[in-house]
Amino acid sequence: MQPPPATPGDPLDRVDTPALLVDLDAFERNLDRMAAETTARGLRLRPHAKTHKSTDVAKAQIARGAVGLCCQKVSEAEALVDGGVEDLLVSNQVAGGRKLGRLAQLARRARIGVCVDDAGNAADLARAAAAADAVIDVLIEIDVGAGRCGLRDPEAVVPLAQQIAAAPSLNFAGLQAYNGTAQHLRAPEERQSAIATAAEIVRRATTALSAAGLGCETVGGAGTGTYALEMAEGLWTELQPGSYCFMDADYAANGSPPDYEQSLTVLATIMSAPETGFAVCDAGHKACAIDSGLPRLASHPAVALTGASDEHGSIALPAGLALSVGDRLQLIPGHIDPTVNLHDWYVCHRGGRVEAVWPVTARGAMF
Amino acid sequence: MQPPPATPGDPLDRVDTPALLVDLDAFERNLDRMAAETTARGLRLRPHAKTHKSTDVAKAQIARGAVGLCCQKVSEAEALVDGGVEDLLVSNQVAGGRKLGRLAQLARRARIGVCVDDAGNAADLARAAAAADAVIDVLIEIDVGAGRCGLRDPEAVVPLAQQIAAAPSLNFAGLQAYNGTAQHLRAPEERQSAIATAAEIVRRATTALSAAGLGCETVGGAGTGTYALEMAEGLWTELQPGSYCFMDADYAANGSPPDYEQSLTVLATIMSAPETGFAVCDAGHKACAIDSGLPRLASHPAVALTGASDEHGSIALPAGLALSVGDRLQLIPGHIDPTVNLHDWYVCHRGGRVEAVWPVTARGAMF
């Protein structure tokens, strides 16, 4: 783990670069806003920790009413339980005996849920939980349009739910119905159509469960790009947005959701300015993920970097912006989740000073 | 830092996933091959540690005759010096007082070089080194065609070299002449033309230095994709390839260099197989970088993943390949350097068993 790039009390110009900067005022407004929206609808909020991988952020979300957190990996769940989070859903399939054993051990220390879309995997999970004398909540994942994991046939939930309900070490808790692709569709009508399709699939699954005499306490899903649509459908009971706490350039390009603020940037320093109108900063794609496009200048959000290699970000300077060696700039990442995963520390600031330095608790937790 | 995904002595099927696997036989053949090629030409080899970020790999390279290592960041240099490496070139500009101070302190413990392309930055560096009572080697970076850092006018090396030579805390050591873009050009003729252009620029710079009565002990540069061309030019004295130890799908697509073997893969587990001919593995782009294309199946190198999200890799299965939940597969990363940076451990194997587990010493070292 790298040493922190700043110390509480430092002015921002003392922060070493590249560094994740969190504007605490904007961050807290984002948390308050989502808490208020979900509370107003009477929905459970279970924010996704794959975005922030942080015990500090998780606790700030729980303090505002979140029922627990989602994560994608057993090792993320372990890190968050170690940090005091008591209710976690691994919103993903967990395969392999070593991982299932760890998940079952964790379920002795916290309320743990996981997703399943395969009968053999459900049987392995039941055995691992029984061996640890633990009980694990299980959501059956159904494919609601992304074509990734999840049962393709919504009626196929019935035999799998019956298998899970029959296992004393498992608790059939409902459905996982998340369309990751829909989060990033550019046009509002495309997102609306995708979630309408998802809702129809959820309805088929819950109808089949009900016909078989099986309850469905939880329907989980929704992300930052579509949660308003899932809320409006009235079928989802637990929302799982992640990015809303920090936001990124990809969501900004969609204009969705409105009112949430870019609270996280990557602070960089100009290391070379070898010709007029061009500069190179010290944040490349090892500091700012580029899977969803090149980062943008916070001072000029319409301007993206012109190139990013491992440790260099190239900038064709827009008119009116001159940058020399040693100057600082803030970048808006194209995609927040993998950007955070590259860093060991958040530098949290307010009023021009570093107020806190938070570890990225589960940075690199991929097991 | 995550706990290691395996223990020496484990069979490969016990390794937790996703994990970096190093085939030690292939890895050692790659190191031997580059050492032999450079020795045969009488050239100094300074492999680039930005690829591997590993003290163990660095020591294996030095044991085969490497004069030292390159790295891109002061924090990488610190990690490698802590691990016992005694000669490091930060093949990059270092800007900002905090970083320059650390670099100067490091130069009291090891031989340290750095690149400069700006008079103000050179003056800052000289002051930092003087304050630490240290001497730092300086290579002037010239742009040899990539259009990133480096002096645009090769004759402009003279006043900057004179400034550096006049500073008692700096040692003018020569030129940095690396074309990163050329490494990845697809056609051999394109790479040949790019390095011929680079050589012409180097010649102009060394001629200007010589006319001004300045020596040029070192001309550094060259990467895995073009080093044979720089060797043939007879101008470069120190080669800086990084990827040759592990290789990746991007270099394989270029067929350059021949004879080097893919020694590193990402081991993954199938976590969902929801329809015939399709499966999802537990390695997404938080486990395998996708900036240079999606990873390929080691068993079917012509087949790439069809999609990668943060923690999922989707695979349209080629004819004859069936994968079920729990099955393992190895992926060839599109780009090795940022892939390694996502992991905390190398799992090194030989003869079907884990022989060693090496930390990625400078993982996340971006300061």
Instruction: Report domain extents, chain A.
Output: 12-20+259-359, 24-246
Length of chain B: 367
B225, B182 contact by CB (below 8 A): yes
Q: Which residues of B touch A315 (CB under 8 A)?
A: none
Window 255-274 of A, Cβ < 8 Å to B: 269-274
User: What is the arithmetic mean of pLDDT over A135-154?
Assistant: 98
For residue A245, what pLDDT is reported?
98
Q: How confident is the model at residue B257 (pLDDT cuts 50, 70, 90)?
A: confident
Q: Is A119 exposed, middle or buried (0-12, 13-18, 19+ CB in 10 A)?
A: middle
Q: What is the ipTM of this complex?
A: 0.97
Window 215-254 of A, Cβ < 8 Å to B: none
Residue A256 has pLDDT above 80, yes or no: no
Residues B268-305 pLDDT 10s = 999 999 999 999 999 999 999 999 999 999 999 999 99
For residue B107, what pLDDT is reported?
98
Residues B302-333 pLDDT 10s = 999 999 999 999 999 999 999 999 999 999 99
Q: For chains A and B, what is the number of CB pairs under 8 angstroms?
A: 182
Q: Which residues of A touch B366 (CB under 8 A)?
A: 2, 18, 282-283, 286-287, 311, 342-343
Average pLDDT for chain B: 97
Window 78-117 of A, Cβ < 8 Å to B: 92-96, 98-99, 117
For residue A46, what pLDDT is reported?
98
Q: What is the largest CA-CA distance in chain A?
A: 72
For residue A223, what pLDDT is reported?
97
A11 touches chain B (CB under 8 A): no
Second CATH level (architecture) for the domain B25-245: Alpha-Beta Barrel (3.20)
Residues A161-213 pLDDT 10s = 999 999 999 999 999 999 999 999 999 999 999 999 999 999 999 999 999 99
B239: closest CA among B257, B251, B254, B255? B257
CA distance B51 to B115: 19
Provide the residue type at A284 as one letter. Answer: G
Residues A41-97 pLDDT 10s = 999 999 999 999 999 999 999 999 999 999 999 999 999 999 999 999 999 999 998
Q: Which two tokens stand for residue A44?
A: 């459970």
Rounded to a whole number of angstroms, the distance between the first and last alpha carbons of chain A is 18
What CATH number is given for A12-20+259-359 in this structure?
A: 2.40.37.20
Structural element, H or E, at residue A136: strand A136-141
B186 touches chain A (CB under 8 A): no
CA B44 to chain centre: 16
Average pLDDT for chain A: 97
Residue A255 has pLDDT above 90, yes or no: no
Strands B238-239, B44-45: parallel, antiparallel or unpaired by DSSP?
parallel
Which fold would CATH assign to domain A24-246? Answer: TIM Barrel (3.20.20)
Task: Determine if the pTM surpasses 0.90.
Answer: yes
CA distance A33 to A46: 14
Residues B218-252 pLDDT 10s = 999 999 999 999 999 999 999 999 999 999 999 99
B276 touches chain A (CB under 8 A): no
Window 113-142 of B, Cβ < 8 Å to A: 117-118, 120-121, 124
CA distance A47 to B349: 39
